[in-house]
Amino acid sequence: MSLVFEHVTLGQRVLFGSGEAAGHLAKEVSRLGAERVMVIASEFELPMARRVAAGIDPVLWHTDVVMHVPVEVAEKARAAAAEHKVDLLVSVGGGSTTGLAKAVALETGIPIVAVPTTYAGSEATNVWGLTEAARKTTGTDDRVLPVSVLYDAELTVSLPVDMSVASGLNGMAHCIDSLWAPRADPINAALAAEGIRSLAAGLPQVAADPAGLPGREQALYGCYLAAVAFASAGSGIHHKICHVLGGTFNLPHAQTHATVLPYVLAFNAPAAPEAGKRIAAAFGAGTALEGLQALRETLDAPRALADYGFTPGDIADAVRIALPAIPESNPRKVTEANLTALLAAATAGEDPKTLTDL
C-alpha cells in the first residue's frame, strides 16, 4: 500500500541542556531583539524564574497563574502586557503558566519563550485553552506557539515524584492519543513511539532517583516528542474527555490525564490494532495495555478520578458535554453507553480490561 498523508511541521527553536536555562534565555532575548520582557511564573515558581532570568532585565513579573486559564485571569495578564508595552513573554513553569502566556499571545501576537518546569508539553504546541463559565474551550493558532523552548532538566528536580509521574503520564497520553487523533500520520506515529519509549525509560529513573538528571532528561525529551506529535495529530478521544473533566469539574490536569489514559487505551486498542502494536513495541511488552499498566504499577500512578473529587453523579453531565466533541474518526464508535462505562470505570479505578469487551 502506498503512503498518502499530509503532515505539518511547526517551526520552533529548541535549546536543550541541563543547567543552561539562564544562559540560553539571555541569548534568546538578545537574538530576538526584545527590550521589554514580561516574565510569567506562579508565586511558587517565582524564585526559580528569577534564577532563570538572572541575565535579563524584565519590565514586569506576572504571578497570577491559575489552572485551566480562566478568561478573567487571561484578560488581566493581557492588560498588564499592554500597559507595560511588552515585546516578549517568558513563561517559566508548567502547563498553566505556558497556557497563560499563550492566552496573552493569542490576542496580542507577542512572541513567547517558554521554559518548562514540568512534563506538560504545552510549550511545543500551537494549542490554546481558556475556561469560562465552567467550560473549557480549546483551539489552535500559530501565534501561541512559543518561538523558542528552553529545556533544562535541573529545573524539574524540585518537582515531587508524584507530580513528575502524573505530568510524565500526561505526556504519555499525548503520544497515545496521537496515534488515532484526527490528523494521525506516519510521522506523528514515529515521534509518538519514540516518546513512549523515552518516557517509559525515564520516568522509573525519576521515581528511583528524583535528584538524578539522566531520568529527568529522558522524560523531558520524551514529553517534547509527545507534544510535537500531538500538535500535528490533534486532539483525540482522550483529550476531549480530559478537557471536560478539567474545565467543567476543575479536576487537576496532569492527574486527570494520568488516570484516564489506561481506560482510553483499553477502549480503543482492540479497534486500532496497528496503533496497539506500535505502542506495545515501544513499551517492549506483549500488548499496549500490558506495557502501560506495568509502567503505571512501577510508578504507583494515579488510579481513580474519585480521588480528585469526581463522583458517579458527575458522569452523566461529563458524557453529555464530551460526547459531541469526540472525533468521528475515533477507531471505535463512541456512544453514550460506552462512554458512560469508560468514565464509571475510571471514576472507581476499576481494571481497564473490563472496557475491551464493551
pLDDT for 217 equals 98
| The domain made up of 13-156 is a member of CATH 3.40.50.1970 | yes
pLDDT for 8 equals 87
pLDDT tens digit sequence for 300-337: 999 999 999 999 999 999 999 999 999 999 999 999 99
pLDDT for 34 equals 98
Sequence ranges of the domains in the chain: 13-156, 161-355
- Band of pLDDT at residue 2, cut at 50, 70 and 90: confident
Q: What is the mean pLDDT of residues 5-20?
A: 95
* 130: Cβ contacts below 8 Å, ≥ 6 apart: 69, 70, 71, 74, 103, 136, 137, 138
Q: Considering the chain, what is the average pLDDT of its residues?
A: 96
pLDDT for 358 equals 66
Specify the DSSP class assigned to residue 4: -
Handedness of CA 67, 73, 75, 79 (dihedral sign): negative
Give me the DSSP letters along 112-153.
Answer: EEEEESSS--GGG--EEEEEETTEEEEEE-GGGS-SEEEE-G
Q: What is the mean pLDDT of residues 20-32?
A: 98
Q: What is the mean pLDDT of residues 113-124?
A: 95
pLDDT for 143 equals 97
pLDDT tens digit sequence for 137-173: 999 999 999 999 999 999 999 999 999 999 999 999 9
Residue 119 C-alpha cell reads as: 512534563
Q: Rg (Cα) of the chain, in Å, rounded?
A: 19
CA distances to 22, 178, 264 from 275, rounded to whole Å, are 40, 10, 13
pLDDT tens digit sequence for 225-237: 999 999 999 999 9
Handedness of CA 223, 304, 252, 164 (dihedral sign): negative
Specify the DSSP class assigned to residue 311: -
Q: Which CATH class is domain 161-355?
A: mainly alpha
Q: What is the mean pLDDT of residues 114-135?
A: 93
Residue 1 has pLDDT above 70, yes or no: no
Residue 136 has pLDDT above 90, yes or no: no
